[in-house]
Amino acid sequence: MRCLASIALLLLAVAPASAQDAIATDGTTTARSLERRIDTRIGLLVGGADIGDVSGGSTGLHASLGYRLGLVTVMGEYGYLGVGDGYDGASGRHGRMSRAGATARVQIADVAKRDSPVGLEFWAEGGVGTERIAWSEGGKLYRPDVALGFGFEIDGRGWREPRPRHFGAYVGFRAIVARAPEDDRPAMCEGPCTVATPPSRNDVSLYFHFGLHWGR
């Protein structure tokens, strides 16, 4: 997890250099690289969550509020999701997860023309957060996590001068890594294997996230 956190911090280190390169091209690129605006997002998370030996589908709402400076956006975010063994009607363990975190997102490319009113931006992101999981039949779990992801967005930009407004849609993929709860199960082979091992101490949850963004 320390390695993943280092990657997230590296994104911040790369961004200023990218912004400086952009400034050296022309006036349009300079203005865009130095833009400052509030960035608001709301959408859905759809994927699967791992919580120790509980694994199943997970969906929920996601919202973030951030500030963009050049190619970098720093965001505070919140998610509320259902987790558990599955929602197919069978008996199992179910609960709700609330997650709050801080994320840095770096634009890595904009494939639209510089003077286009609509941008198509690709980005990478990294961040940290904390999870609160409340089980339906009782019990709570608190734990920190690390999030890494990438995605793209359509950005309608630059109307209503002198403070341009932006509006569009985004799609991304995110991996959330957290330490699994203590497990006293012995080393075993769940399937065919040559070496028995204890359960993994790391949980990896994978999500698609998509929604709308706007700002000025």
- Regarding pTM above 0.95, the answer is no
Q: Where do the domains of the chain lie?
A: 2-181+198-215
pLDDT higher than threshold 50 for residue 18: no
- CB–CB of 134/94 below 8 Å? no
Core vs surface per residue 108-120: b (16+ CB within 10 A) or e: bebeeeeeeeebe
Q: Round to whole Å and give the CA distance between 109 and 123.
A: 7
Render pLDDT for 67-111 as a digit per residue (tens, 0 to 9).
999 999 999 999 999 999 875 545 588 999 999 999 999 999 988
- Summarised one tens digit per residue, pLDDT across range 98-151 is 999 999 999 999 887 777 788 899 999 999 999 999 999 999 999 999 999 999
- Per-residue HEC secondary structure of the chain comes to CHHHHHHHHHHHHHHHHHHHHHHCCCHHHHHHHCCEEEEEEEEEEEEEEEECCEEEEEEEEEEEEEEEECCEEEEEEEEEEEEECCCCCCCCCEEEEEEEEEEEEEEEEECCCCCCCEEEEEEEEEEEEEEEEEECCCCEEEEEEEEEEEEEEEEEEEECCCCCEEEEEEEEEEEEEEECCCCCCCCECCCCCCCCECCCCEEEEEEEEEEEEEEC
Phi then psi for residue 9, to 5 deg, are: -70, -30
Question: Looking at residue 198, what is its pLDDT?
Answer: 85
Omega before residue 162 within 30° of 0, cis? yes
Nearest residue to 70 (alpha-carbon basis) of 103, 31, 99 = 31
d(CA 5, CA 144): 12
Residue recorded with tokens 């985004």: 170
Output the CATH code of domain 2-181+198-215: 2.40.160.20
pLDDT of residue 12: 42
